Structure 1
């Protein structure tokens, strides 16, 4: 007898994993519009650029050293090095490296990062399979980015209420789907791999509250799962089949059926949610960005920052919980992770320096008295109007700055890098140049141009592994 879930799916027979696998396993680049292909390549470029900056971030080389010491079959590359390790551990390190600076993409409506699990998994899969072409890599990236975006858009409960980080939780499935498509698994194998991924899926928000380095490791765990799950499926190990909508599937077990099954399926194969991904101009939590943009808009009107008496910032509840509490930590962060998740610190940095860059999110920068003085005068609150209209998304910010010469205010709804406020091609390339400089490695002068050319032509490349040729010192 069929069991009806509260979301209205026939749990005995229907599961989105089958529908998505049927679509994804048969996807060809020839089926995709130039816009979709370009969106996938933009994510490859940005995610791997962010990884170069993450190379020198706390914890990354520790993890790279650990997996190198473990050894194993030299299947895939730890990016920015010539070290080769088993594919799952390469994807694990590369996922951490991509996310370490919190500079990577976001889906502002779904509230997640998409590429940091998908790209490391897809590239590692391309290294495992010499027959995988550039077109296979692009198709795999499309599949993975689309799955994580759809899962996020269909989930109606926010990350603060659920306690899960959707980047990593949904990233386990997205990385698995991406790797499966690169490896050319058939629909049955892909569905099985998604079920195997379900046995590993996790990712919590407590890491952000505790400023844990595992915040930046979680997407790497998801990327690692993608390679493990596809390898297990290829040798015939059976996983769950009703992964998303079964009686004990993801949506009931993790979210108490608070999702929209129609939104999950809407336009599958014809419209792509991931083309709405946003990209970051500032290396910190996306919840900070509207407040930073508003502060920068106010800066010419304010003049001397020393004249500022108070700063007040209104955001939605998700943003308040993620980047405003506890207030004493957010006003005086003691670690880079705490600073990355602080509206008071990043707004103060923007007002003092005229921007928020990688140098502002470093251990050396955290003790600057002029920034800490402004951060100490910053008060954040939940804006009821913003919460009512924008409760599930990246929050707008209303910033009010009280000075000796008057009070000035500005509101930003769509931060820079959003699809309604896009970064330019030159912005992306300047961002990569900054990441290369932050890596501490000695890169050839033409690295950005060389990597850009490789990614631009990736769908025509004979090998998907060729993308790594652009990141060799």
Structure 2
């Protein structure tokens, strides 16, 4: 009998180091730290923040004798237990849809990795920046490989951030706790038996529940590692066994997506978003923006519009009539119509107010969104998209994309990313000096600076929210 499908991944997770001195990895660690920090800080200014904070506070009873672990939740003055702090921060950093993503894995990896690493680093003495770097690399590697391995059939009904994200959090936590290969395999086994998260909230109009998914992934993943640390064995064949994940979900894995770490680290293949909406439509928005710039197109000149992408675009971002900002982030027709109308789709300007603009809604109603089979076949390794606008005088204008801005093929440079961070984080952290401290922490993390505060305190100093919640 061959070894467990997750054995080599567990062995790699247990042995990986922080890759100090690798310029590509150093840059990626700094960039993805900054991406998550911006999403976390901005999340404290979201309308969902007080409700989610209250729910997790009720679960964790922060400040109670058993929970005074000194772990921070963004914008809150109390000490939390590491598990609930990590879960709460994961949810908070997903409210605005600002966080990173991945084409092949079809998930948001960072929000299932960084909260686990930071919380455990705060809770455990002796953790070094090198430990944290290794844990982040392990989390991205495990989560992204698992997401890509489970493939499109799984992603059609399951939110991969919740399912594969549990493995990312478990691997990150296992590496930070310095578990050996056998215990790490147990942690992955515990992760697999807890992995869950369904897309049904889209069908039922419960968009505000989406942030629950990274939260439960992180909560369950950290718990999985703690169970393994305590010597409780997990199912070694939780993925491929007769009553394992693949059998339960009745799917075959993606054959080309290997679970064995090889080549460049998976963190180098992730995407930092260029738009504050569902990643399924980013290629289309990039193409629409360029079409307008090249053609000098004005909305009053448009007779008809066709937007094309993979079937996943319709499945996840196919909402036709949004009523609020949360819905609008999953409405391809609306976002394309807003852009064609000259509306604001920036990270700081997209506030949902345009859903009340009947002219934008009327244009959205006229936009045909299609999923050509050839585009669906190229997904998820590519994110093909095509926008076609026919003008009232008969011109046919078209623009096409295979990848998104922020994909590995078109990565962010550091300075534009810093500017992006200041705009996003400025929603809640109004002190520019405080934001610069976060930038410098992230830069230092990428460089492996062991003098950094392992508790990543700059992430949590969101003074306006801190005063409200204290």
User: Given that residues 50 and 435 in structure 1 are in contact (C-alpha distance below 8 angstroms), is that contact kept between their aligned partners in structure 2?
Assistant: yes
**Cα separation, 2, equivalents of 1:466 and 1:227:** 17
Report deviation, 1:137.
Answer: 0.8
2:390 matches 1:402: yes
User: Given that residues 454 and 470 in structure 1 are in contact (C-alpha distance below 8 angstroms), is that contact kept between their aligned partners in structure 2?
Assistant: no
Cα distance 1:274–1:158, how it changes in 2: closer, same or farther (>3 A)?
A: farther
What is the CA deviation profile of residues 266-315 of structure 1, one whole-angstrom value per residue up to 9, with x for unaligned ones?
A: xx254322211111111111111111111111213143212222211111
SS of match in other structure, 1:291:
helix
Structure 2 counterparts to residues 151-190 of structure 1, below 5 A = 151-159=146-154, 161=156, 163-190=157-184
**Cα separation, 2, equivalents of 1:22 and 1:31:** 20
Instruction: Find the counterpart in structure 1 of residue 189 from structure 2.
Output: 195
TM-score for both structures, normalised by structure 1: 0.89
**Cα separation, 1, equivalents of 2:310 and 2:265:** 27
Aligned residue among 427, 433, 449 for 1:446: 433
SS of match in other structure, 2:16:
coil
Instruction: Find the counterpart in structure 1 of residue 109 from structure 2.
Output: 114
Cα distance 1:262–1:410, how it changes in 2: closer, same or farther (>3 A)?
A: closer
**Cα separation, 1, equivalents of 2:90 and 2:382:** 23
Instruction: Find the counterpart in structure 1 of residue 424 from structure 2.
Output: 435
Structure 1 gap segments, 5+ residues each: 3-9, 325-329
Instruction: Find the counterpart in structure 1 of residue 380 from structure 2.
Output: 392
Aligned residue among 94, 110, 117 for 2:89: 94
Aligned residue among 129, 135, 140 for 2:130: 135
**Cα separation, 2, equivalents of 1:436 and 1:40:** 18
Instruction: Find the counterpart in structure 2 of residue 247 from structure 1.
Output: 242
Report deviation, 1:38.
Answer: 2.4
Structure 2 counterparts to residues 209-288 of structure 1, below 5 A = 209-212=203-206, 213-260=208-255, 263-265=258-260, 268=261, 270-288=263-281
**Cα separation, 1, equivalents of 2:130 and 2:453:** 7
Q: Bigger shift: 216-225 or 331-340?
A: 331-340
User: Given that residues 296 and 350 in structure 1 are in contact (C-alpha distance below 8 angstroms), is that contact kept between their aligned partners in structure 2?
Assistant: yes
Structure 2 gap segments, 5+ residues each: 463-470
Instruction: Find the counterpart in structure 1 of residue 78 from structure 2.
Output: 83
TM-score for both structures, normalised by structure 2: 0.89
**Cα separation, 2, equivalents of 1:382 and 1:467:** 43
Q: Bigger shift: 37-46 or 285-294?
A: 37-46
2:357 matches 1:368: yes
**Cα separation, 2, equivalents of 1:273 and 1:141:** 11
What is the RMSD of the two structures over their aligned residues, measured on CA atoms?
A: 2.2
Instruction: Find the counterpart in structure 1 of residue 289 from structure 2.
Output: 296
Report deviation, 1:463.
Answer: 5.8
Report deviation, 1:351.
Answer: 1.8
Cα distance 1:378–1:258, how it changes in 2: closer, same or farther (>3 A)?
A: same
User: Given that residues 309 and 377 in structure 1 are in contact (C-alpha distance below 8 angstroms), is that contact kept between their aligned partners in structure 2?
Assistant: no
What is the CA deviation profile of residues 34-77 of structure 1, one whole-angstrom value per residue up to 9, with x for unaligned ones?
A: 31232233212101211112222232321212333433412211
Cα distance 1:394–1:370, how it changes in 2: closer, same or farther (>3 A)?
A: farther
**Cα separation, 2, equivalents of 1:385 and 1:228:** 42
**Cα separation, 1, equivalents of 2:220 and 2:333:** 36
User: Given that residues 348 and 424 in structure 2 are in contact (C-alpha distance below 8 angstroms), is that contact kept between their aligned partners in structure 1?
Assistant: no
What is the CA deviation profile of residues 119-159 of structure 1, one whole-angstrom value per residue up to 9, with x for unaligned ones?
A: 11111111111211111111100000011111122234345
The number of residues matched between the two structures is 451
